Amino acid sequence: MAELKTYNYTPRDFKSDQEVRWCPGCGDHAVLNAVQKALTELGIPKEKFVFVSGIGCSSRFPYYMDTYGFHGIHGRASAIATGVKTANPELSVWQITGDGDALAIGGNHFIHVVRRNVDINIILFNNEIYGLTKGQYSPTSEKGLVTKTSPFGTVEEPFSVGELVIGAKGKFFARTLDSNVALSTQIYIEAAKHKGASVVEVLQNCVIFNDGIHDVVAGREVREDRTIVLKHGEPMIFGKNNDKGLVLDGLKLKVVSLGENGITEKNLIVHDAMEPNPGIQYMLANMRYPEYPMALGVIRSVPGHTYENDLVEQINHIQKDAKINSVTDLLASGSTWKVE
């Protein structure tokens, strides 16, 4: 592989001259900062970045980036981004979306971009609510959530993003907290480096309509005991005092305390994000408090063919022995006859 070029960018180089209009205290600000930071470390020239979005609070994101950007229509960012990447595979294409944009109105495009494994990086801001339309429940809202359109609580089962990604044959899934800029930056870099559709779920706080929805796991006081940051090749340890871990108990994951019942680090599962069989990754993605810690970090990262690469290869392969090399050849192909 060619060595990464350095462009000596600073996050400031990726800030556009637009005033950022998210609510004060919104988790989106931190995501913007982390992404701008991540871009400086990719060795990709600025003109090759394209940010595509749909509709929703998070979808204003491209306006705040001094890169190429396309603010699309509700739910369709996956399709637009697919078109950009297919047209020019040299570009680094990022899709900014939310739980409503990607999983409700854009659900079809979302599962298909993941299935096709188009090499784009999808940052899914999950605040479990519709913010821009001012507080209606979303496809990730917990059952029973009281909102303006569910005044007596929702009666719907929510999607789990990781479960959906794995179900759609996804090869990269990671999760982070909006407030953890250091972890987020690292995850965005890994998502960008992964060849194929990378989905990063950001547990993002909407200060106005769903404030504190992730606090049960993301709150400063409890975070370390209620989340686990997974690292490929490392045993699954978590907790303020690094005293808890995950083991496989039969066919299920189980939280254990190190030092109790003779459990040591050696008994813990070692995280393998690159294992093609998604069985354990699926369980990790679906862990929820209080039974389990919420998994953060790169949960699944499996190499695979990308759509745009295979398409280009197919075109190159066919063109090698093609008899039709121009429109003139095409028009003259097949049965023709001359009138003198």
> What are the residue ranges of helices labelled H in 12-106?
28-39, 77-87, 99-100
78 vs 140, which CB is nearer to another protein?
78
Nearer to another protein, 292 or 307 (CB): 307
Candidate list 10, 18, 257, 264; residue touching another protein; CB under 8 A: 18
Considering beta carbons, is residue 149 or 319 the nearer one to another protein?
A: 319
Of 47 and 157, CB closest to another protein: 47
Q: How many Å apart are CA 107 and CA 92, to the nearest integer?
A: 23
Distance CA 303, CA 291 (A): 31
Helix axis angle for 28-39 and 181-193, nearest 10°, is 50
146 touches 152 (CB < 8 A): yes
Q: Does 79 bind another protein (CB under 8 A)?
A: yes
Part of the chain binding another protein (CB under 8 A), chosen from 69-77, 196-204, 226-234, 256-264: 69-77
**Residue 297 engages another protein in binding (rule: CB under 8 A):** no
> Which among 100, 103, 96 is positioned nearest to 122, based on CA atoms?
96
Tell me how far, at minimum, the Cβ of 138 lies from another protein, in Å: 20
Residue 103 contacts another protein per CB under 8 A: no
Residue 151 burial (CB count, 10 A)? 7
Of 68, 79, 118, whose CA–CA distance to 101 is shortest? Answer: 79
In angstroms, the CA 172 to CA 252 distance is 22
| 258 contributes a contact to another protein by CB under 8 A | no
Which whole-number Å values give the CA distances from 329 to 4, 318, 324, 338, in the listed order? 42, 15, 5, 16
Q: Check binding of 182 to another protein (CB under 8 A).
A: no
Q: Which residue in 108, 149, 257, 264 binds another protein (CB under 8 A)? A: 108
Tokens 């705040």 belong to: 64
Site membership for another protein, residue 10 (CB under 8 A): no
**76/300 with CB nearer another protein:** 76
Closest to 242 measured CA to CA, from 265, 218, 267: 265
Q: Is 50 in the site for another protein (CB under 8 A)?
A: yes
CB of 176 to another protein, least distance (A): 25
Distance in angstroms (rounded) separating the CA atoms of residues 187 and 207: 24
Closest residue by Cα to residue 173 from 67, 86, 283, 331: 283
Angle between helices 77-87 and 107-116 (to 10 degrees): 30
Binder of another protein out of 28, 34, 37, 76 (CB under 8 A) = 76
- Based on the shown chain and the rule CB under 8 A, indicate whether residue 326 belongs to the binding site for another protein: yes
311 binds another protein (CB under 8 A): yes
Rounded to 5 degrees, what angle do the CA atoms 159, 189, 314 make? 80
The residue within the footprint of another protein, chosen from 1, 6, 8, 90 (CB under 8 A), is 90
Position among 82, 154, 198, 301 found at the interface with another protein (CB under 8 A): 82
Binding string, 27-46, against another protein, x = CB under 8 A? ------------------xx
Work out whether 72 is an interface residue with another protein (CB under 8 A). Answer: yes
By the rule CB under 8 A, 80 interacts with another protein:
yes
Q: Which residues bind another protein (CB under 8 A)?
A: 16, 18, 45-48, 50, 52, 62-63, 65-73, 76, 78-88, 90-91, 108-109, 112, 311, 314-315, 318-319, 322-328, 330-332, 334-340
